[in-house]
Amino acid sequence: MTSHDTRTRQLPQGVGRLTGPWWAFIAIASAVLLFGVYAYWRQASGGLGETALADTGTMGGATWGLYVVMVEYFIGVSFAGVAIAALARVFHIADLKPVTRIAELLTVGSLLVGLAAVLIDLGHPARGLWHLLLYARPQSAFFATFTLVGVGLLLASLVYLFLGGRRDAAIMATYESRLNWYHRWWASGYTDTGPERERHMRAMFWLSIGIVPLLVVSLSTEGLVFGLQVGRPGWFGSMQAPDFLVLAAASGVANLIVLAAMVRRALGKAGEAVESAFPWLGRILLAAALAGLYFMVVEMVSLLYATPADERLIAEALLTGVYAPITWLSFGLMLIGLAILTRLAAKRAWHVGPLVLASVLVSISAFAERYLTVVPSQTHGMLLPYEIGAYFPNWLEIAVGAGLFALGALLIGLFIKVFPAIPMTDEEEVSAHA
């Protein structure tokens, strides 16, 4: 047990200590974000015409492009974070406990970024917020993106993150620091007495159980944004929802692994705790990526064999045409990622290096898959014989997209300097020093 005196000197897990590498990280992320903001300013003043987007049909473009891909990707990523955290709490998996907060952070961060991408994609972002309050139509599948996914899930995860962090906040509040007010605010009266602790645990358990159906419903509707479109070959079908979930799981766990590895590195010795989670995360990723690959193969086979006339154009574009490089890149990266994961699993040695590599590959593959869901059905999926279209994001969209990634990174980077990224162990006590 540490004495009260030491606690006045140093907060745990590097909180409050701004190191050189951290500043470098923040500087780079801020620079990318600023450039993204500049690009968005250009778009906001000139209109979406500044992007490479164009009307489908006679203009031969894609009206949904990189931004919608990012919405789908980030909302997918958010799924895994909160699911892993819930998993650890419901089944009391001690090995996963150290990454629960990182997972919640990932969820909140990617949801914020995903919702920002939704607003960025709108022709009238201000109206988007205002008119949704006034005129929302729950019959629209897009309603789920705005409300269920947006507000519901975001609030749920914030509550989850907030409640789950109260105990740690109470511990942090026992330290003398400039952040003391913040930790006291977060602890909001929690003092870690016996009954209080029990109530806390029970609340977290039920929250964990409650959030899973919310997740599945809201993310399925996200898949249905595409799956309900009769008029768009390549989209219509009930597979969109499960496909969305599986890919969401794979990309989300992959990102969680990368983030956990980064935290591990940033925190030094204090970060070693997360290592216990890697074998679990690795196995979950292996399972999710296998399911993802299964969906990919099933899709390809059905494209190759039983293609309705209207989908043939899309099938050709995906397998041998303009989108073929992306298709095979996505497929190849997923295969390589799986090979690495399988080898790690066989050896039962989850080394961080190869695991992170596999995660990055799976994540890129999932991003490419999202792109292939959104774009080709617009450029090659017109039911009337319009000329084949084309779309590739221009510099402005890529800059805004990179800015969104940077925003997420910045949020997480700032967070780990004001709050412990890894939940405190049960041995840490609050009341003794309060």
Partner 1 sequence: MVKYAMAVDLDRCQGCRACMESCKVENNTVQGNFWMYVFRFEEGTYPNTEMSFLPRPCQHCDNAPCVKVCPVGARYKREDGIVLTDTDRCIGCRYCEVACPYGVNYFNWVEPKKAQYPVVNWEDEDLATVTSGAVPPYRNPDLDELQGPEQRHTAGGGHAKGVMEKCTFCVHRVDKGLDPACVATCPTNALIFGDTEDPDTPISRYLAEKRTWDLLEDAGTEPRVHYVGGSPPTHARVEIERPKARA
Q: Is 22 in the site for partner 1 (CB under 8 A)?
A: no
The answer to whether the CB of 258 falls within 8 A of the CB of 274 is: no
Question: Smallest Cα–Cα separation from 174: which of 199, 192, 158?
Answer: 192
Q: Is 53 in the site for partner 1 (CB under 8 A)?
A: yes
Q: Is 229 in the site for partner 1 (CB under 8 A)?
A: yes
Q: Is 142 in the site for partner 1 (CB under 8 A)?
A: yes
| Helix (H/G/I), strand (E/B), else coil: 172 | helix
230-289 positions binding partner 1, by CB under 8 A: 230-232
DSSP 389-422: ------HHHHHHHHHHHHHHHHHHHHHTTTS-SS
What lies within 8 Å, CB to CB, of 423 at 6+ separation is 97, 98, 100, 101, 164, 165, 167, 168
Candidate segments 33-41, 153-161, 225-233, 415-423, binder of partner 1 by CB under 8 A: 225-233
- Record the tokens describing residue 100, joined without a space: 């629960």
Q: Is 46 in the site for partner 1 (CB under 8 A)?
A: yes
User: Cβ closer to partner 1: 246 or 313?
Assistant: 313
Burial class of residue 147, CB neighbours in 10 A (0-12, 13-18, 19+): middle
Q: Is 1 in the site for partner 1 (CB under 8 A)?
A: no
Distances 195 to 200, 209, 428 between C-alpha atoms, Å: 8, 21, 17
* Interface residue with partner 1, options 20, 21, 123, 189 (CB under 8 A): 123
> What is the spatial distance between Cα 150 and Cα 156, in angstroms, rounded to a whole number?
10
User: Cβ closer to partner 1: 233 or 282?
Assistant: 233
Pattern 62-91, binding to partner 1, x per CB under 8 A? -xx---------------------------
* Interface residue with partner 1, options 19, 387, 414, 434 (CB under 8 A): 387
> What is the spatial distance between Cα 225 and Cα 228, in angstroms, rounded to a whole number?
6
Query: Whole-number minimum distance, CB 316 to partner 1, in Å?
Result: 12
Query: Whole-number minimum distance, CB 182 to partner 1, in Å?
Result: 36
Candidate segments 320-328, 331-339, 347-355, 375-383, binder of partner 1 by CB under 8 A: 375-383
Residue 375 phi/psi, 5-degree rounding, is -80, -55
Helices (H), 305-374: 309-319, 324-347, 352-374
User: Cβ closer to partner 1: 21 or 138?
Assistant: 138
Q: 271: part of which helix (H) or strand (E)?
A: none
- Record the tokens describing residue 416, joined without a space: 């780990």
Number of residues that bind partner 1 (CB under 8 A): 49
Pattern 291-320, binding to partner 1, x per CB under 8 A? ------------------xx--x-------
DSSP 61-106: --SS-HHHHHHHHHHHHHHHHHHHHHHHHHTT-GGGGGGHHHHHHH
Q: Is 155 in the site for partner 1 (CB under 8 A)?
A: no
Query: Whole-number minimum distance, CB 220 to partner 1, in Å?
Result: 16
Q: Is 55 in the site for partner 1 (CB under 8 A)?
A: yes
Q: Which residues bind partner 1 (CB under 8 A)?
A: 46-50, 53-60, 63-64, 121-124, 127-128, 131-132, 134-137, 139-143, 146, 225, 228-232, 309-310, 313, 378, 382-387
